[in-house]
Chains A and B, each alone.
Chain A
């Protein structure tokens, strides 16, 4: 259960050094993506001017306030509340994010599935768990919104956040085939019949 301090971008070797139950604190930069961003990138043939190679993406769509551009708000947006959404909906996009754009780390909540785990093993990546719903706290880890692309999809734009001491976050899926979500789900499924018997259900 090691702790890692990652300054982005990172290498494949760094991503592969992560093991479930390790913790990671992220520094420097982080990209925000979401359902519409991914649908437009991978189903509708759009591209982004951002270089995501070696970077981390977080499943988010922040509350922002339009403000005049300044050094504090280079993109013309002040971050009000930046949190994390349920990752499972975006399962089919992980591999393409990694193979086409070089993304190394996915940050989300609730976990992802088999395709994502396979992509992590083959290409070198990991999933970090944010505590969903703890967005007020998460927002204190965001320094500013550096840049934004595909902003016609607002709030589901592609966001580039400047971050400081983002985390610590739990490694919940790694490149060695381990997923805390699978372990918990398998355990819960194994306890299903006992739970039903406790309710007097004939199983």
Chain B
């Protein structure tokens, strides 16, 4: 049994927020490099070049990649062989998020939804967002995603009907990308949720948008849609920053769930080119940081 020290969880939650904001995962860096070699539009090549330069500048100056510190999301996976007090784990992560904001310091991007008061802590009711999952391992994994608002503001849900079939899903995804234009900071990872209930569908889309580049949907039909939709999106010409070009999406990621006989829900959640995420894994080896 792996015993979890909650003081360490607090420190890790703090560290993960700052790490995520400063270091882009290798799959995203490689994705940007790939697009910059295949892009044919002159303006788009220049925009992608600026994005690559920014990654280098952020590393050289130990600065945040983007000013948007996002909505902090922590995805926690607890293995069967892990002993931890869940309620205190939640408190520790929240304290870590708050400490990152005050101690670095980071811009607190979080306000009360009615009063719009900013507590300068990156925290508020239900925020940071905490998602829990479980597996059979002897590890505790914490993934941190600072979800930027430019991409998050372009989130869409459609409760389509069975008679409209997969065509409704495809059409909706294309129309969401058109509606978003440059507002999502393309090139994006287009996360698509299919099936489930309305809330699960949206959650699947978010999970899809957070998946590493190169990962593939476990469902063969979903995987096929990923490839086909990505090619179709990149034929639209929206381009990086909505200024035209071939590089509108790095990839389309699909996550799906079973749904009701009367339902055909589809959701879209996008992740911007600064697709930030960081991970820490607690195991018998200690704490390891990665992506």
Contacts and interface: CB of A to CB of B under 8 A. Distances in A.
Interface string A177-193: 00011011101110110
B237 A201 contact: no
Interface of B: 43, 47, 50-51, 53-55, 57-58, 61, 63-69, 105-109, 116, 118, 120, 148-150, 153, 167, 170-171, 174-175, 178, 181-185, 228-229, 231-233, 235-244, 272-274
B51 A63 contact: no
Contacts of B229: 199
Contacts of B272: 132-133
18 contacts: A85-B67, A111-B242, A129-B243, A131-B51, A132-B150, A132-B241, A133-B272, A133-B274, A135-B54, A136-B63, A139-B61, A184-B237, A184-B238, A184-B242, A192-B175, A194-B235, A195-B235, A200-B170
Contact of B150 (A110, A154, A155, A199): A110
A49 interface: no
A184 B65 contact: no
Nearest to A183: B244
Contacts of A138: 67
Q: Which 6 pairs across A and B sit closest by C-beta, in order of nearness?
A: A83-B67, A136-B58, A134-B54, A133-B274, A81-B64, A110-B183
B133 to A, nearest CB: 29
B235 A132 contact: no
Nearest to B150: A86
A136 B185 contact: no
Given A110-B150, A132-B241, A62 B181 contact: no
Contacts of B66: 81, 83, 132-135
A36 interface: yes
B132 to A, nearest CB: 29
Residue among A80, A85, A134, A184 with the highest chain B CB neighbour number at 10 A: A134
Contact of A131 (B69, B153, B232, B241): B241
B105 A133 contact: no
Q: Size class of A's contact patch?
A: 35 or more
Interface in A66-115: 80-86, 88-89, 109-111
Contacts of A60: 67
Contacts of A199: 170, 174, 228-229, 232
Nearest to A89: B153
Given A86-B153, A201-B170, A201-B171, A136 B237 contact: no
Nearest to A193: B174
State the main secondary structure of chain A at its contact with B.
mixed
B171 A196 contact: yes
A170 B44 CA distance: 12
Nearest to A109: B241
Given A110-B181, A194-B235, A154 B64 contact: no
A161 to B, nearest CB: 13
Given A64-B107, A137-B57, A181-B242, 15 more contacts: A61-B109, A81-B64, A81-B67, A82-B67, A83-B67, A86-B183, A110-B181, A129-B241, A133-B274, A134-B54, A184-B243, A189-B178, A198-B231, A199-B170, A200-B170
Residue in A60, A84, A185, A194 with the greatest tally of chain B CB atoms within 10 Å:
A185
Given A135-B65, A187-B244, A196-B232, A88 B237 contact: no
Contacts of B185: 86, 109-110, 132-133
B63 A192 contact: no
Contact of B54 (A136, A180, A192): A136
A81 to B, nearest CB: 4
Contacts of A200: 167, 170
Contacts of A85: 67-68, 149-150
A60 to B, nearest CB: 7
A185 B63 contact: no
Interface string A116-133: 000000000000010111
Contacts of B238: 184-185, 188
Nearest to A135: B67
A21 B244 CA distance: 12
A110 B241 contact: yes
